[in-house]
């Protein structure tokens, strides 16, 4: 049996996990920085880097202790090497390098997006390549054809904002606080999705990409116009969420037509926690006769188990100790 220690610190979650090649998460710890960033309505890179630096080492020690293990028991150390906020990525990667050097274990530098892309295979051993992955998070909105470990074809990406970012901005505008996605989803349940006319950028377009900037500005205009009193905040939330779903479904349908045969439609990333989005994607998969795979929520949002699992999938492909941290690193 092989065990990998995974480390994640590319955004605002400090996380460590121990995962085996038998798909068992032996232990995992995650320290969220939501409280630290809440007053600013978004992640402040400097605050994030400092918090990672303070928390990561004790968090790793606690994770090892939870599993009753020491570094001598792990087969490799996998850490996110990008893309993400450079200060945080450096904290995680430098820590991983130090541990690798001290324990004479191999380092595996993992692309954070690869972690998201492979995480569904940690939860579902029957998931076979190739599959179409919709990766929707605070920093990314992409459709990836996952053909194998290390073989990813990006079929679409956002030309402006990520969808999670649009959820967070909408939440801020409606005074719902940070992080905004879950709050918008909650409020949307009480609203009428047909009340506020909003655009569906790029829907029906021949090009493959996503765009959410126009939707975000339209939400802003709708909030200003609301003083006229025809609709509520809940109607804005519901209409926004429906517009976002229509965009996701249209673009994903287009990618399914372009990708060739796939074994499943898979969703990952923090926005995949949204139940309305999941059920719309399930419907799309059903019409294509495809299984729909959505990992458990804890594996959808940023976590270290997915980084450890990517390390398991790449076991033997070691990286040198001078591997750089990469703030931008397309898959
Ligand atoms: O994957 P993730 O944890 O971090 C990034 O790599 O970005 O995703 C976080 C994003 C945030 O923008 C958050 O608002 C969004 O995922 N999110 C949601 C929901 N839960 C989290 N968006 C919509 N509905 C949700 N229920
Ligand atoms: Zn992420």
Structural domains in the chain, CATH included, are 3-117+301-313 (3.30.420.40), 128-294 (3.30.420.40)
- Is 303 among the annotated ligand-binding positions? no
pLDDT at residue 104, as a whole number: 97
Over 90: is that where the pLDDT of 178 sits? no
Report the separation in Å between the CA atom of 246 and the middle of ligand 2, taken as the mean of its atom positions: 23
Over 80: is that where the pLDDT of 314 sits? yes
Q: Which atom of ligand 1 is nearest to the CA of 163?
A: 12
Query: Does the predicted interface ipTM exceed a cut of 0.85?
Result: yes
pLDDT at residue 214, as a whole number: 97
Distances (CA, A) of 260 to 56, 135, 256, 263, 294: 42, 19, 7, 10, 21
Over 90: is that where the pLDDT of 41 sits? no
pTM of the model: 0.92
pLDDT in tens, 67-92: 999 999 999 999 999 999 999 999 99
What does the pLDDT average to over 89-118? 97
Q: Which ligand is nearest to the CA of 12?
A: 1
The CA R_g of the chain, rounded to the nearest whole Å, is: 20
Secondary structure (DSSP) of 253-315: HHHHHHH---S-EEEESGGGG-HHHHHHHHHHHHHTT--EE---HHHHSS-SHHHHHHHHHTT
Report the separation in Å between the CA atom of 139 and the middle of ligand 1, taken as the mean of its atom positions: 9
3-state DSSP percent of the chain in helix, strand and coil, to 5: 45, 20, 35
CA dist., res. 83 & res. 64, Å (int): 26
Report the separation in Å between the CA atom of 277 and the middle of ligand 1, taken as the mean of its atom positions: 12
Over 80: is that where the pLDDT of 228 sits? no
Please give the structure tokens belonging to residue 57. Answer: 């080492």
Q: Are strands 3-8 and 76-82 parallel, antiparallel or unpaired?
A: parallel
DSSP state of 151: E
Average pLDDT value over all residues in the chain: 95
Adjacency order of strands within the sheet including 13-20:
25-32, 13-20, 3-8, 76-82, 107-111
What does the pLDDT average to over 166-182? 92
pLDDT at residue 19, as a whole number: 98
Q: Is 11 in the pocket of ligand 1 (CB under 6 A)?
A: yes
Give the mutation target among 9, 140, 167, 329 for probing the ligand 1 site: most ligand atoms within 8 A of CB: 167
Q: How many Cα atoms sit within 13 Å of 40 on the Cβ side? A: 12
pLDDT at residue 179, as a whole number: 79
User: Which pLDDT band, with edges at 50, 70 and 90, does 331 fall under?
Assistant: confident
Q: Which atom of ligand 1 is nearest to the CA of 275?
A: 26
Adjacency order of strands within the sheet including 151-157:
151-157, 141-148, 131-136, 265-268, 292-293
Over 90: is that where the pLDDT of 123 sits? yes
Neighbours of ion ligand 2 (CB under 5 A): 137, 302
What 3-state class would DSSP assign to 107?
A: strand
pLDDT at residue 229, as a whole number: 81
What does the pLDDT average to over 251-261? 96
């Amino acid at each position: 049996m092989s065990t990998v220690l995974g480390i994640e610190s590319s955004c605002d979650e400090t996380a460590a996990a121990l995962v085996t090649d038998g798909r068992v998460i032996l232990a995992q710890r995650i320290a969220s920085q939501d409280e630290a960033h809440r007053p600013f309505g978004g992640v402040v890179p400097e605050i994030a880097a400092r918090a990672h630096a303070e928390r990561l080492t004790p968090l790793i020690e606690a994770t090892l202790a939870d599993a009753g293990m020491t570094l001598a028991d792990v087969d490799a150390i996998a850490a996110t090497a990008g893309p993400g906020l450079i200060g945080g990525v450096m904290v995680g990667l430098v820590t991983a390098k130090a541990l690798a050097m001290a324990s004479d274990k191999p380092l595996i530098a993992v692309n954070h997006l690869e972690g998201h892309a492979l995480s569904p295979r940690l939860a579902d051993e029957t998931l076979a390549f190739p599959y179409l992955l919709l990766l929707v998070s605070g920093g990314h909105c992409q459709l990836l054809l996952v053909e194998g470990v290390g073989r990813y074809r990006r079929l679409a990406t956002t030309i402006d904002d990520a969808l999670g970012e649009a959820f967070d901005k909408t939440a801020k505008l409606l005074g719902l606080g940070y992080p905004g996605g879950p709050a918008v989803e909650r409020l949307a349940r009480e609203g009428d999705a047909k009340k506020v006319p909003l655009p569906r950028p790029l829907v029906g377009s021949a090009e493959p990409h996503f765009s959410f900037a126009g939707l975000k500005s339209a939400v802003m205009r709708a909030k200003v116009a609301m003083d006229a009193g025809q609709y509520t905040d809940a109607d804005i939330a519901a209409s926004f969420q429906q517009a976002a779903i229509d965009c996701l479904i249209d673009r994903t349908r287009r990618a399914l037509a372009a990708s060739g045969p796939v074994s499943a439609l898979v969703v990952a990333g923090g926005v995949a926690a949204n139940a309305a989005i999941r059920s719309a994607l399930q419907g799309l998969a059903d019409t294509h006769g495809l299984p729909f795979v959505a990992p458990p929520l804890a594996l959808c949002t940023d976590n270290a188990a997915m980084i450890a699992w990517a390390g398991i999938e790449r076991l033997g492909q070691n990286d040198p100790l001078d591997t750089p941290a990469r703030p931008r690193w397309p898959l």
